Amino acid sequence: MNTQLVAVDIGGTHARFAIATIAADGAIVLGEPETLHTKDHASFQTAWEDFRERNGGTLPKAVAMAIAGPVGGDVIRFTNNPWIIRPALTKEKLGVDSFTIVNDFEAVAHAVARASEDQFIHLTGPKGALPATGRLTVLGPGTGLGVAHLYREPNGTYRVSATEGGHVDFAPLDSIEDAILARLRKRHNRVSVERVVAGPAISDIYQTLAAMEGKPVSEEDDVAIWTRGQDGSDSLAAAAVDRFCLSLGSVAGDMALAHGAKGVVIAGGLGYRIRDTLLSSGFAERFRAKGRFESMMSTLPVKLIVHPQPGLFGAAAAYASEFLGDKS
């Protein structure tokens, strides 16, 4: 018997909705996603009502939400939008019978657990499918740096844990990273890896490289730097993107060591946009460069998930695991 639910992926700027169908064998199919701007709605409830009207006035009686931020406690607040969600009132406010709420990167790890092999691009390490058992590290640079780990049991089930791995200390490995750290220390007493390996960090990397070359550059939007760094129109921006990839490789390797991982998955829209640069950069070398553990690191497969909606897919997968049993 199929189960239908509404999958929702809520960030600071957008709230994405889709009707998800979970088959009896655990297969998940997403309907066409709809993206609403959070600034256009006073609350999540009014956004939900908007989506309901777009779907003829009725919705399934279950919802799975992936939320960009902590999900524990009586009140869920968002960093970059004014919405508030009170889990205890979810059934009443939305008119549903069941719901699950997970951190957005916890949802991505659920997506990694259930996505088919053709939803991954190989980055480095042994080719072939990700290990069927054991722990995988999942991380993704976006507005911040999300980190989770996924444990696959020998019986085919799995467990997911969200972490705050993006907030561990940044460890520079060369003089350029020393300079990046020095710049960041002027504003932050403690510099986490998220300050260097997340989308907005490209601005500080770019400014650091410009200062090293004595080039005056103005402060600007990080999106513009990413664009120029990717299209080849600015060699300094391209160097900043390459430097970002080096640091991402180092951090991914550190997380794999800390988790005892048998494989690593890079996630997020930013990772997908820079996939060609990741392949041609020093990402793989930095991932392996762990001193006495270099040979071990070379045995770990590293993939990039390319599912178009991992947050929505993962939210539905989290619901399936909680309410329908793990049939992955």
- List residues forming the annotated binding site for ATP: 8-13
Measure the CA–CA gap between 47 and 40, rounded to whole angstroms.
8
Q: Helix, strand or coil for residue 45?
A: helix
CB 13 within 8 A of CB 38: yes
Residues recorded for the chain: 328
Nearest CA to 251 out of 232, 238, 264 is that of 264
**Which residue positions form the known binding site?**
8-13
Q: What is the 3-state secondary structure (H, E, C) of 170-231?
A: CCCCCHHHHHHHHHHHCCCCCCEHHHCCCCCHHHHHHHHHHHHCCCCCCCCCHHHHHHHHHH
| Bridging pattern class, strands 62-67 and 34-37 | unpaired
Q: Helix, strand or coil for residue 135?
A: strand
Nearest CA to 169 out of 160, 177, 159 is that of 177
Q: Is the dihedral of CA 168, 139, 318, 132 positive or negative?
A: negative
CB 43 within 8 A of CB 94: no
Task: For 115, list phi and psi in degrees, rounded to 5.
Answer: -70, 150
Return the half-sphere exposure (C-beta side, CA atoms, 13 A cut-off) of residue 275: 16
| Bridging pattern class, strands 158-163 and 263-266 | unpaired
Distances (CA, A) of 35 to 11, 13, 32, 124: 11, 10, 10, 33
